[in-house]
Amino acid sequence: MDTHRPPGLDAGAAATLDARLPDAIALAAEDLGVKKAHTDTATLLGLAVLAGAFVALGGLFATVTWSGAEGLLPYGVMRLLGGLAFSLGLVLVVVGGAQLFTGDALLVMAWASGRLSVGALLRVWTLVWLGNLAGALGTAVLVYLSGQHTFGHGAVGATALYIATAKSGLPVPQAFVLGILCNVLVCLAVWLALGARGVGDKILAVALPVSAFVAAGFEHCVANMYFVPLGMLIQWGAPESFWAELGRSFPPIDAGRFLLTLGAVTLGNWIGGALLVGAVYWFIYRRPAHTHPAHKHMDVK
């Protein structure tokens, strides 16, 4: 007997191809959180590096999509197309399998049900954040070394520089709030994907919320780990021929300010995902008054 299955969800229902109902999604989110906390350090870091690289690939796709579109497409249409392209990153994470800090904010649900300790949460969040950073930075270096910023007569590089300077120059309070709003949508995308039964369902579930946060201009810490370092690399190392073809300059990117805004966005992402999605859904579906008395928990210390 599955002691974690909510009342009214029998084994036959669980075996169908129908989408999970919200109460079953809440349980699946908890179970997945416990599973992640049991993952050994090497595997967790490897999956986190992959997620950082996957999100960076989504960022690369969005950058190319936006390049040369300004003045030709309405602002909203341009942002929507870039958002659809960027959703590649979370599709790769969800379908391909990887560990993303922003999505892992939902682990708070397993903690609230007494199935994870604070130490287990901090271990996962810290290792995954660091792994995401390594994957995003590594991809930024590879993209820079490929010379991709010179494509389109420098249009791709110009877009990359515009994104990097805009993100690193955000006021810290604004970056914090934009981070909250972003991860509400990212965690809702993960939540919907947990309810899906097939790959096509998962892709559709992820694409719309992710496109929405990109189109709206919200801030994702792992995406910024790619966008801003790539802009810095272009500024520091692009040859004179690139700047001559570009015919314009960009304000220098301040590394210290980037780290400050990255911290603000990270905290905002955590609040948006852990408190405004995870905690809210836990209260609705998983608080003690709404779980079966026989429900047993597995603590992770």
* Residue 99 counted as domain residue: yes
* Residue 12 counted as domain residue: no
As a dihedral over the C-alpha atoms of residue 145, residue 150, residue 156, residue 160, rounded to 10 degrees, the angle is: 50
* Residue 294 counted as domain residue: no
What is the average per-residue pLDDT within 193-214?
A: 94
Q: Are 98 and 206 in contact (CB under 8 A)?
A: no
The predicted pLDDT at position 15 comes to: 52
- Residue 70, SS3 per DSSP: strand
Domain containing 238 equals 21-289
Q: Output the domain CATH number for residue 112.
A: 1.20.1080.10
Burial of 112 (0-12, 13-18, 19+ CB in 10 A): middle
Domain count, the chain: 1
* Residue 149 counted as domain residue: yes
The predicted pLDDT at position 7 comes to: 43
> Which pair of tokens denotes residue 262?
């990255």
DSSP H helices, the chain, are 11-14, 22-37, 41-66, 75-86, 88-91, 108-112, 118-145, 155-168, 172-195, 199-216, 221-237, 240-246, 255-270, 280-281
pLDDT band at 71 (very low <50, low <70, confident <90, very high): confident
* Residue 7 counted as domain residue: no
| This model's pTM is above 0.95 | no
Name the average pLDDT for the chain: 91
Residues in the chain, total: 301
* Residue 295 counted as domain residue: no
pLDDT band at 10 (very low <50, low <70, confident <90, very high): very low
| pLDDT tens digit sequence for 139-186 | 999 999 999 999 999 999 999 999 999 999 999 999 999 999 999 999
* Residue 170 counted as domain residue: yes
* Residue 300 counted as domain residue: no
- pLDDT of residue 16 exceeding 70, the answer is no
How far is residue 153's CA from residue 175's CA, in Å, rounded to a whole number? 32
Which residue has 């290792």 as its token pair? 127
